[in-house]
Amino acid sequence: MRIRFKLKNRYTEGDKMRMRNLKNKEEILNNSKFLINNPKEHIGKWKELFKNNNPIHLELGCGKGNFIANMAVSHLDTNYIAIDVVDAMLGLAKRNIEEIYKEKELEISNVYLTRFDIERILMILDPKDEIDRIYINFCNPWPRGKHRKKRLTHTRQLEKYKVFLKPKGEIYFKTDDDGLFIDTIHYLEETGFEIVKKTFDLENEKDFWENIVTEHEKMFMNEGIKIKALIAYKK
């Protein structure tokens, strides 16, 4: 198994430079119609925030927001919530979302960003929120045994996701890390999810799903690392 990086080193040099250059982060985050600073107030009421009954898709660990920006602007009949714990990354995500919607000459109406610790996600989402799909892209693999409970795909996290996922609600997961992928398969099986598709080489399975290639994904593929992916649903 290849150990990719520790949490404190999970950003590329380009990421670090962009975060350093992002001025007035607090002002940027506090002056946004689609960045939620008080997500606890919306538990059980996210549909009211979107003001429609469209499906809600959730990205856990959205980073710079390129994935969620491209998904949201391409699927205006789906609502998106993206969560990250790092203020600077949310600032970059906000900017990236604004830019892509501006390019398409569209108003931002179907995506919200928020800063929150995903380990405590049941403080901001409950069964009334009825999430249709979760995306987990290139999360930290936490390879050391004592740290594995921190994984976003660990059984204790999956049990939390089951609370607000609708019946037949889906998890879309991709990673470059072999060990994390194998373990995640076991975690999903242990918690009663059904894996309906999986691949150990996403690049060569063009019809696997609608894939938005992230910056990290390009980096790994350029290094010759195969991207692993799966789709599982809540029984």
Q: pLDDT tens-digit profile of 136-177?
A: 999 999 998 889 999 999 999 999 999 999 999 999 999 999
20: which 2 tokens? 């350093």
| CATH number of the structural domain spanning residue 127 | 3.40.50.150
Across the range 59-88, mean pLDDT stands at 95
98: which 2 tokens? 């604004």
Pick 10 or 57 by higher pLDDT. Answer: 57
Angle, vertex CA 71, rays to CA 47 and CA 232, nearest 5: 80
Closest CA to 91 of 180, 192, 22: 22
Domain assignment present for residue 2? The answer is no
Backbone angles phi, psi at 112, to 5 degrees: -130, 140
Pick 207 or 14 by higher pLDDT. Answer: 207
pLDDT tens profile 26-40: 545 566 889 999 999
- Examine the pLDDT at 76 and tell me if it is beyond 80: yes
Across the range 165-191, mean pLDDT stands at 97
84: which 2 tokens? 């990250």
Q: How many domains are there within the chain? A: 1
pLDDT value at position 66? 95
Domain assignment present for residue 191? The answer is yes
Give the domain range for residue 161.
Answer: 7-234
Strands 111-115 and 79-84: parallel
Range name among 12-26, 81-95, 137-151 with the lowest pLDDT average: 12-26
Q: How confident is the model at residue 216 (pLDDT cuts 50, 70, 90)?
A: confident
Domain assignment present for residue 215? The answer is yes
N-to-C CA span, the chain = 30
Domain assignment present for residue 46? The answer is yes
pLDDT value at position 6? 38
Q: What is the dihedral of CA 79, 84, 90, 93, to 10 degrees?
A: -50
Q: Are 209 and 229 in contact (CB under 8 A)?
A: yes
Domain assignment present for residue 224? The answer is yes
Q: What is the dihedral of CA 33, 118, 45, 41, to 10 degrees?
A: -70
Q: What is the mean pLDDT of the chain?
A: 89
Q: How many helices (H) and strands (E) does the chain have?
A: 8, 8
Domain assignment present for residue 1? The answer is no
Looking up tokens 């918690």 gives: 191
